[in-house]
Amino acid sequence: MMILGQTTTLFDWSWVSRNLDNIWDRTVEHLTLTGVAIGFGLLFSVALASAALKWPRIYEPLASFSGVLYTIPSLAVFALVAPLVGIGTPTERFITAEVALISYTFLILIRNIVTGIRGVAVETTEAAFGMGYRRSQVRRSIEVPLALPVIMAGIRIATVTVIGLVTVTSLLGLGGLGFFILDGLRRSIIFPTEIIVGVVLSVALAAILDLALLWLGRAVTPWAEKGIS
């Protein structure tokens, strides 16, 4: 490709080899942001879903609210959260990013936890009670394990969604693979290699995690028929 008389290749492997450390660090940042978002998202979702299962009346409002959160464009969420948390320090920026990311996991996780548990066959829980299980034991040893395929499916979707969104958090200067995309675009001469590295790696990350979670899901639910998750 000829740009301003300079010869550049579409993809510059030497840049990659010069920046391996950087690429690694950004990948780790990306995974950290994702992991923290999924972890806390799951924590809050479990709490909220438990409440919704206990008081069915709050499920509808809860689902609607997380639905609304989900539809707000990611950039707008950052913009909304930033003034509340601040973006002065790295910690503040991290929290701002996470608040936004976590809010995106709610819709999928809460919905899948609740439907998963509600989907457990009545005869199964009735048999469990009939055998002398306590309420908490039914939840722990019957309902949750049986809801796992649906819950795992939710975790997979949430993970893939968050990985995509983390590329946007680089706007807050938080790194992640989005950094490369942004950096490649910001240069006076657009640098495709950097953009490609950012895009390809975040897509690869999403695909790998999706497959890993699929595998994990099957490993923890050996009883489930293939094709559910």
Q: Which residues are near other proteins by CB under 8 A?
A: 121, 123-124, 126-134, 137, 142, 145-146, 221-225
Q: 34 or 125: whose CB is closer to other proteins?
A: 125
Question: Shortest distance, CB of residue 43 to other proteins, whole angstroms?
Answer: 24
Angstrom distance (rounded) from CA 162 to CA 33: 9
Tell me how far, at minimum, the Cβ of 118 lies from other proteins, in Å.
16
3-state secondary structure of 7: strand
The DSSP secondary-structure symbol of 185 reads H
- Kindly tell me which of 73 and 130 has the beta carbon lying closer to other proteins: 130
For residues 112 and 125, which CB has a smaller minimum distance to other proteins in the complex? 125
- Nearer Cβ to other proteins, position 21 or 225? 225
Q: With b meaning 16 or more CB within 10 Å and e meaning fewer, what string describes 83-101?
A: eebebeeeeebbbbbbbbb
CA atoms within 13 A on the CB side of 177: 26
Instruction: Tell me 219's DSSP state.
Output: H
Minimum CB separation from other proteins for residue 211, in Å? 23
Alpha carbon distance 39, 69 (integer Å): 18
Q: How far is the CB of 123 from other proteins (least distance, A)?
A: 4
Cβ 112 to other proteins shortest distance, Å? 17
Task: Retrieve residue 149's tokens.
Answer: 């395929």
User: What does the buried/exposed string (b/e) look like for 6-44 if buried means 16 or more CB atoms within 10 Å of the residue's CB?
Assistant: eeeeeebeeeeeebeeebeebbebbbebbebbbeebbeb
Q: Give 45 or 221: the residue with its C-beta nearer to other proteins.
A: 221
Taking the complex as a whole, the smallest distance from the CB of residue 129 to other proteins amounts, in Å, to: 6
Indicate the residue among 22 and 137 with the shorter CB distance to other proteins.
Answer: 137
